[in-house]
Amino acid sequence: MLRRALPARPEARRILLGTLLSAVGRGLTLPFLFIYLTDVRGLTDNQAGLVIGWFGAVTLALSPVGGTLIDRFGARRVVLPCLAVEAIGTASLGLVHSVGTAFAVSTLIAVGGSALWSGQTTILASLTDDGERQRVFGLQFALLNLGIGVGGLISGAVVDVARPVTFQAIYLLDAVSYLTPALILLTLPHVGHRLSRAATEEDRPTGGYLTVLRDRPFRRLVLFGLVLTTCGYAQIEVGFTAYSVRVVEVTPRIVAWALAGNTVMIVLSQLLVIRRMEGRSRTGALAAVGAVFASAWLVLGAAGVIGTGNALVAALGVVACAAIFGFGETMLSPVMPALTNALATDELRGRYNAMSSMIFGISGIIGPVTAGPLLGAAHGKLWVAVVVGGCLTASVLALSLRRLLTPAQDGRPTPAPAPPPTPVTSAR
């Protein structure tokens, strides 16, 4: 299964290697930003939520610019400087000491990260064909989470809220990890250039984002993604972590183990899921993702009800939530970028991928800002109800998308044309 999932071109394989190595650094810091800002640097819950939400706002504002630059100059010229800025910003997190510096560093990181997702996705899409993209994007996600899980295990054994230097160390290592994909891309001089090479200024595609927004199936896909990520991914850093620590009353180390369980689920099941999804409806898979995410939050809610009454069962509930969530991710990760690039053209591929990345920017604002107040209401029960309902709403949106797609775009086998009737010859 691994051999089948690997891309045919060696350049794409090296890009995937960079994804794995940089993800280890990301895993060192992913679970702990909210805890670092509040328990180590003394920010209030609302201040920390606003800082993380501000990151999403800046990312959202700059993502369209990144997509335009990718289409105009090529992903290479955008991704390389963004990786350098991201490394500087991440290292600076260890120097945060006030609300002002937290906002400043968050802004720098957002500037660097605003075009990374769309740029790297565009590069990988340019190195693969339609038949292998879904498998390759799924493998990319498995490698990403393998790296995050390894980093999470390391940081879970190292970080200590009583020793700020442990957090400074992991942010510095995370910054160094961003240089790895940059070095790999520098060794591939022919990768990441413009996909559309118009001969004259008049031949260049017009319309830009207006053309992308006129694509009705893509608009529906974006709406689905907004609802799902707001009630799913955007809750991991704030909602999931805060609910686990404050309501379920587990330690940060349990949160780290839960995210490790998430990674184990993804790594063990991703290739099998990719294989089982071949030839099946992509919209059906997206609908299933919403249902799986909702189930994960229900399990976490049950752990909160149990709480300290049975600490072991409550901790297992936190870990189970993350593992179930991971299974849903194995279906979402190959389908969302593959469907986005199936709808895109080479002339506007950067903009399509930028719009897709903007989903995370918008949810990155709504999720953290709303999680705090919702968690404070009714001992977190309102938060659970909202995220479960949102995930199920996303499932309905995914099912409504199917009628807007061709069978090829939806990943379903295209029926073979019926053979022409055999002429009947009359006997003489």
pLDDT digits (tens, 9 = 90+) for 204-219: 555 688 999 999 999 9
- Between CA 197 and CA 45 the distance in angstroms is 49
DSSP labels, 85-150: HHHHHHHHGGG--SHHHHHHHHHHHHHHHTTHHHHHHHHHHHTS-HHHHHHHHHHHHHHHHHHHHH
As a whole-number percent, the residues of the chain with pLDDT over 70 amount to 92
Q: Which pLDDT score, from 0 to 100, does residue 196 have?
A: 59
Q: Which pLDDT score, from 0 to 100, does residue 200 have?
A: 38
Please tell me which residue, 427 or 138, carries the higher pLDDT value: 138
Q: How confident is the model at residue 56 (pLDDT cuts 50, 70, 90)?
A: confident
- Specify the DSSP class assigned to residue 192: S
In contact, 25 and 7? CB cutoff 8 Å: no
Q: Which pLDDT score, from 0 to 100, does residue 34 have?
A: 82
Buried/exposed code over 356-391 (b: 16+ C-beta within 10 A; e: otherwise): bbbbbbbbbbbbbbbbbebbeeeebeebbbbbbebb
Task: Assess whether pLDDT exceeds 80 at residue 291.
Answer: yes
Task: Assess whether pLDDT exceeds 70 at residue 202.
Answer: no
Q: Which of 27-31, 35-39, 77-81, 140-144 has the lowest mean pLDDT?
A: 27-31
Q: How confident is the model at residue 201 (pLDDT cuts 50, 70, 90)?
A: very low
Q: Which pLDDT score, from 0 to 100, does residue 257 have?
A: 84
Buried/exposed code over 405-423 (b: 16+ C-beta within 10 A; e: otherwise): beeebbbbeeeeeeeeeee
Q: Which of 215-229, 248-262, 407-421 has the lowest mean pLDDT?
A: 407-421
Query: What integer best gives the mean pLDDT of the chain?
Result: 86
Q: Which pLDDT score, from 0 to 100, does residue 222 have?
A: 94
Q: How confident is the model at residue 7 (pLDDT cuts 50, 70, 90)?
A: confident
Q: Which domains does the chain show, CATH number per domain?
A: 2-188+212-404 (1.20.1250.20)
As a whole-number percent, the residues of the chain with pLDDT over 90 amount to 42
Q: Which pLDDT score, from 0 to 100, does residue 327 have?
A: 94
Using the structure block, give the residue that is written with the tokens 């997206």.
Answer: 286
How many CB atoms sit inside 10 A of residue 317's CB?
Answer: 24
Q: Which pLDDT score, from 0 to 100, does residue 1 have?
A: 63
Q: Which pLDDT score, from 0 to 100, does residue 414 have?
A: 65
Q: Which pLDDT score, from 0 to 100, does residue 203 have?
A: 46
Q: How confident is the model at residue 197 (pLDDT cuts 50, 70, 90)?
A: low
Q: Which of 137-141, 250-254, 387-391, 399-403 has the lowest mean pLDDT?
A: 250-254
Q: Which pLDDT score, from 0 to 100, does residue 263 have?
A: 80
Mean pLDDT on 9-27: 90
- Between CA 244 and CA 361 the distance in angstroms is 24
Q: Which pLDDT score, from 0 to 100, does residue 422 have?
A: 59
Residue count of the chain: 428
Mean pLDDT on 268-273: 90
